[in-house]
């Protein structure tokens, strides 16, 4: 009977974030692999390592330093989550989505999810920025599996518009203002951690995916359940397996992400200022 429920764990973490960071941020940004140093661009920032937040899962992956930074970006009060956990690390999908639930519980209404992804659409190339219009969940897991708690939202939440059309238009306008060209498409989440086979990539293309990655979907599902407006941004770091001759490596993914960093920071700053 001493085990504490999911809602109580989220509430406990939210209380500590509130105490450490003060005023509730207007929006939260979850940073993908290699984008962690975007957090350093915040001004008047308070930083809290994930290890100091109760029940918070801590990432084991290179390129995912774990800290919450609350400060100003693009003239807005923003919570940046530098580092996320993934189901391939062995975390259940609801642990992957824990940080998102904490943000929603705090009162944050808008969520920007970023990730590194492989390009499946033959029109993409490494360096393409893709606004996520929709997703396909192939993780084999859903963060809402298990005991239901109405305080998180409905048991069977609608997923017709997980990614807000309104925010997507704002992202397009922000990109145009910064001279960044963006694509739109469907993000397929797979379990990983092995990259796909060429046959799996052909399958993903056939079912309508434009990009493939190992994150984002658990967070998007809980954000949808909790009524947050979600914007998803994929940085295409590589073409998916079999599309180019070279084998895939995480180091190459991180290197392309670093090369895209300046563009991504400028774009994020512009988007955040307009949300
Ligand atoms: N596949 C899956 N996840 C990824 C990839 C990929 O090609 N690139 C970056 N994350």
Per-residue model confidence (pLDDT) at position 144 = 97
Using the mean position of ligand 1's atoms as its centre, give its distance from the Cα of residue 55 in Å: 28
Using the mean position of ligand 1's atoms as its centre, give its distance from the Cα of residue 118 in Å: 4
Q: Does domain 3-274 bear CATH number 3.40.50.1580? A: yes
Q: Which atom of ligand 1 is nearest to the CA of 196?
A: 1
Per-residue model confidence (pLDDT) at position 61 = 65
Per-residue model confidence (pLDDT) at position 1 = 40
Rounded CA-CA distance 44/153 in Å is: 33
Per-residue model confidence (pLDDT) at position 11 = 95
* Sites in the chain below the pLDDT cut of 50: 1-2
Distance of CA 56 to the CA centre of its chain: 16
Per-residue model confidence (pLDDT) at position 41 = 86
Q: Are 85 and 56 in contact (CB under 8 A)?
A: no
Per-residue model confidence (pLDDT) at position 2 = 45
Using the mean position of ligand 1's atoms as its centre, give its distance from the Cα of residue 147 in Å: 31
Per-residue model confidence (pLDDT) at position 63 = 55
Looking from the CA of 264 toward its CB, the CA atoms found within 13 Å total 33
Looking from the CA of 109 toward its CB, the CA atoms found within 13 Å total 3
Q: Atom 9 (ligand 1): residue with closest C-alpha?
A: 117
195 lines ligand 1 (CB under 6 A): yes
Using the mean position of ligand 1's atoms as its centre, give its distance from the Cα of residue 53 in Å: 29
Strand, coil or helix: what is 41?
Answer: helix
211 lines ligand 1 (CB under 6 A): no
238 lines ligand 1 (CB under 6 A): yes
Strand, coil or helix: what is 112?
Answer: strand
Using the mean position of ligand 1's atoms as its centre, give its distance from the Cα of residue 62 in Å: 15
102 lines ligand 1 (CB under 6 A): no
Using the mean position of ligand 1's atoms as its centre, give its distance from the Cα of residue 270 in Å: 26
201 lines ligand 1 (CB under 6 A): no
Q: Which atom of ligand 1 is nearest to the CA of 240?
A: 7
What's the angle, vertex CA 186, arms to CA 181 and CA 189, rounded to 5?
Answer: 120
pLDDT 10s digits, 190-221: 999 999 999 999 999 999 999 999 999 999 99
């Amino acid at each position: 009977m001493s085990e504490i429920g999911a809602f109580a764990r989220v509430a406990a973490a939210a209380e500590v974030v509130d105490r450490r960071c003060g005023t509730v941020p207007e929006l939260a940004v979850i940073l993908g692999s290699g984008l962690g140093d975007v957090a350093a661009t915040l001004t008047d920032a308070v930083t809290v390592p994930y290890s100091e937040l109760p029940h918070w899962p801590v990432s084991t992956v290179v390129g995912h330093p774990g800290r919450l930074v609350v400060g100003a970006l693009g003239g807005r009060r923003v919570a940046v989550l530098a580092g996320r956990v993934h189901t391939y690390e062995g975390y259940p999908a609801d642990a992957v989505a824990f940080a998102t639930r904490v943000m929603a519980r705090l009162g944050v209404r808008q969520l920007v999810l970023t990730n590194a992804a492989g390009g499946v659409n033959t029109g993409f190339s490494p360096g393409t920025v893709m606004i996520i219009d929709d997703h396909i969940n192939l993780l084999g897991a859903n963060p809402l599996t298990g005991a239901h708690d109405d305080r998180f939202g409905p048991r069977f939440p609608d997923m017709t518009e997980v990614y807000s059309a309104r925010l997507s238009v704002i992202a397009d306008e922000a990109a145009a203002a910064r001279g960044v060209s963006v694509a739109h498409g469907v993000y397929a989440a797979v379990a990983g951690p092995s990259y796909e086979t060429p046959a799996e990539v052909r399958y993903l293309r056939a079912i309508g995916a434009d990009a493939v990655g190992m994150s984002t979907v658990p967070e998007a599902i809980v954000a949808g359940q909790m009524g947050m407006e979600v914007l998803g941004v994929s940085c295409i770091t590589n073409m998916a397996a079999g599309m180019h001759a070279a084998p895939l490596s995480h180091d190459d993914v991180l290197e392309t992400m670093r090369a895209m960093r300046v563009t991504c920071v400028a774009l994020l700053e512009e988007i955040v200022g307009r949300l």
